[in-house]
Amino acid sequence: MTEFDVIVVGAGLVGAAVAYDLRRAGYDVLVLEREQELGAGVSRSNSGVLHTGFDSPPGTFETQMIRDQAGRWPHIFDELKIPYRVPGALLLAHTDDEAAQLADLAQKAALNGVQTKILDERATRAAEPHSHARASLHIPSEAITDPYEVVTRLLHGIEVRLGWKVESTETAEDGVRVWGPQGSLTARFVVNCAGLFADELGEEGFSITPRRGEFVVFGEGTARLIQHILLPVPNAFTKGVLVFPTLYGYLCAGPTAVDQHDKSDWTPHLSALPALHQKASEVLPILEGERVEDAWAGLRPVGQPHNYICEFSSRVPRLLHLAGIRSTGLSSCLGLSAWALTQLIEHGLPVKAPGNAPEPPPSRSGTPWWQRLNRFREVPALVSRP
């Protein structure tokens, strides 16, 4: 006999969403998290932007997961009282060449089922008075939230064991056994949502490399400088630096993208901040005179040989990997969780009577997610922090 229906490894966004859907479907689920806090890894170090997938490659699995979530998240966020706002986004074209690309980007968005509208210079300036762009693409359904609140509210009422590091997995009678310093546990199925450490649950045919991305935070109240999430026109090498408001009144910009080997180095590099400030000022020139007051660094799990490694293990048949979710986990986690539930049932997880969701916690933390991350990681104060 197994101890649980499903064990979820990792209490980040993807793990929290999987556990949420499993609990709602009536399953006995346990979440194991190696850290001493929820969402203390990749999930607490992103931008907090809920992307629509307007610019994602049409027809890919990643795009489908983002679009599947788009039909779910507003209802779930309202039900769980997860804070969010939908300012929409403007993709800003500053040159004639960039403006000429907007039609193709709008067509790609349409293929992905995302509504957009091209704005001329006058309409763009009306939408964003501080912008110097010649034209823009308006994506009205892009949104912002707090990823820490998403994790904690999805996991509310679900059993989570913190400080439980899964070191290996093996096939057991009727399921899977996971091993760690505390001993072993068994479940009918295990779902690997371990983020940066998804390749460390036993030998598998993929690897995870951390990609550091710095963000800068401008002073409190600077979010009033913009009305939308602001995006540059992407080029062949990068999507560029986005400038975005937060629920806490701060305006932020980022990320950079530098691969590194250390999965534990969360320190923003001081040398990267001036260039990031400059890139943000190119998107919104008024930022050139604004002071950077804080910074954080996120680590994104880059999968090899590819991202979105979503498949059952060839070594442990009842172990489902959701790995290499590089940079769109916040925007796809509820799409992935619905997909994972279907996969588990198709592979033998018995259907149960749906469960009831507990009442969400009554109040929000009030602390921005990046401040929680820096405190937890004991990141030194490279710039003056509030």
As a whole-number percent, the residues of the chain with pLDDT over 70 amount to 97
Q: Is the pLDDT of residue 386 over 70?
A: no
Q: What is the pLDDT of residue 384?
A: 40
Q: Which residues pair with 30 in a beta bridge?
A: 7, 159
Q: What is the mean pLDDT of residues 287-316?
A: 95
Beta-carbon contacts of 304 under 8 Å, excluding residues fewer than 6 positions away, are 206, 207, 208, 209, 324
Q: What is the mean pLDDT of residues 273-287?
A: 95
Q: Is the pLDDT of residue 1 over 70?
A: no
pLDDT band at 385 (very low <50, low <70, confident <90, very high): very low
Q: Which residues pair with 90 in a beta bridge?
A: 138, 230
pTM: 0.96
Question: How many beta carbons lie within 10 A of that of residue 85, not counting itself?
Answer: 12
Q: What is the mean pLDDT of residues 261-286?
A: 94
Q: How far is it, in rounded angstroms, from Cα 222 to Cα 88?
A: 17
What is the tens place of the pLDDT at every residue in 45-67? 899 999 999 999 999 999 999 99
What is the tens place of the pLDDT at every residue in 151-197? 999 999 999 999 999 999 999 989 999 999 999 999 999 999 999 99
Beta-carbon contacts of 237 under 8 Å, excluding residues fewer than 6 positions away, are none
Domains defined for the chain, CATH in brackets: 87-140+209-301 (3.30.9.10)
What is the tens place of the pLDDT at every residue in 129-152? 999 999 999 999 999 999 999 999
Matching residue, tokens 């890919």: 60
- Of 255, 364, 341, 336, give the one whose Cα is nearest residue 70: 336
Helix, coil or strand: residue 189: strand
What is the tens place of the pLDDT at every residue in 64-114? 999 999 999 999 999 999 999 999 999 999 999 999 999 999 999 999 999
Q: What is the pLDDT of residue 381?
A: 63
SS3 content of the chain, % helix, strand, coil (to 5): 30, 25, 40
Q: CB-side exposure of 14: number of CA atoms within 13 Å? A: 32
**Which of 193-207, 212-226, 325-339, 372-386 bottoms out in mean pLDDT, i.e. has the lowest?**
372-386
Reading the block at residue 221, the tokens are: 């109240």
Polymer length of the chain:
386
Q: Please report, in angstroms and rounded to a whole number, the separation of the first and last CA atoms in the chain.
A: 52
